[in-house]
Amino acid sequence: MWSGPRNVSTAMMYSFAQRPDTRVLDEPLYGHYLKSSGARHPGREQVMAAMDTDGDRVMRRLADEPGDRPVVFAKQMAHHWVDLERALLKPFQHFFLIRDPRHALPSLARVLEKVDLEATGLPAQVRLLEDLQSLGQEPFCVDSRDLLKNPADMLEAICRQLGLSFDSGMTRWEPGPRSEDGVWAPWWYESVHRSTGFRPYREPADAVPDPLRALLRRSLPLYSRLRKFAIGN
C-alpha cells in the first residue's frame, strides 16, 4: 500500500494486522528515503539508526525472504520511493491510499516545518501509478474518505481486489502501540494509538491556510488523477 502522509495509513496497517494470515511492516523504506533525500523529519537520526537504509536491499528482501505467514502487508509512503528501479515493484500487488489535499495539507503543516508538493506524496503516487501501468499492472486506489465512511464494505472490496477473503476482525483493534510500529511512532502516531477502529468520517474543521493555497492548487489535479482509479468511485 502506497500512501501519502497524514492519511489513515497506520490505521490501515493495524487493520491488516488483525488478520491471522498476515504480517505487517511499517514503512520499510523510511530509512532509505531519509538517507537519499536528506529530508529533515522528526527523529531522523533515530530512524536511520534503527533500520536498513539501502532501499534496493529492502525491496529485494521483501520479495525473496520467506515469511512466517502467507500474506505480507507493507505500509509504504509513496514519496519514500527515491532512486529505485521500477523492476523492484514487479513481485508485489499494489494499491494506493489517497486523501483529498484540502484535508491533508492542514494536518501535514502541523507536523512538518516545510510542506512542499513532494511532501504531500501525490506526485510520487502518480509516478508510481504510471510505473506500475508500464509494467502491465492495474493498481487501484482507496480514498480515505470512502474508507472512513464505510470501513467494513471498503475493506471487503480491498480484500476482493487483492484476492483475499475478508476478515470482519479487520475493523477493530486494541488501543495503544503495536510491536510493528516504527521508531517514529512518538512523533506521528498519538491519535491512532488512542483508536480502536477507523474513526467516523468528519469534514475537517481546519481550512487550508492562505500560505498553502498555491500548493493546494498544484495538488488537486494530482489527486483527481488518482481518484479516477478509486474503488467504489
Residues 213-233 have pLDDT tens digits of 999 999 999 999 999 999 976
Residues 85-134 have pLDDT tens digits of 999 999 999 999 999 999 888 888 887 777 889 888 999 999 999 999 99
DSSP state of 69: S
| pTM confidence score | 0.93
**Domain locations along the chain:** 2-227
Whole-angstrom Cα distance, residue 89 to residue 62?
10
**With respect to CATH, is domain 2-227 assigned 3.90.180.10?**
no
pLDDT tens sequence across 147-192: 999 999 999 999 999 999 999 999 999 999 999 999 999 888 888 9
pLDDT at 2 over 70: yes
Burial degree of 98 (CB within 10 A; 0-12, 13-18, 19+): buried
DSSP secondary structure code for residue 96 in this structure: E
Tell me: the pLDDT tens digits for 49-76? 999 999 999 999 999 987 789 999 999 9
84 versus 210: the higher-pLDDT residue is 84
Which cell numbers in the block locate residue 138?
492495474
CA distance linking residue 105 with residue 99, whole number of Å: 10
Spatial CB neighbours of 34, under 8 Å, sequence gap ≥ 6: 41, 44, 47, 48, 53
For Cα atoms 165, 98, 68, give the angle at the middle one, nearest 5 degrees: 40
Q: So what's the pLDDT on residue 93?
A: 97
Q: How far apart are alpha carbons 153 and 173 in whole angstroms? A: 17
pLDDT at 210 over 90: no
Helix (H, G, I), strand (E, B) or coil at 95: strand
Phi (first) and psi of residue 26, to 5 degrees: -100, 105
| Helix, strand or coil, per DSSP, at residue 180 | coil
Helix or strand run (H / E) with residue 2: strand 2-3
- Rounded-to-5 percentages of helix, strand, coil across the chain: 50, 10, 40
SS3 at position 81 = coil
Residue 27 identity: E
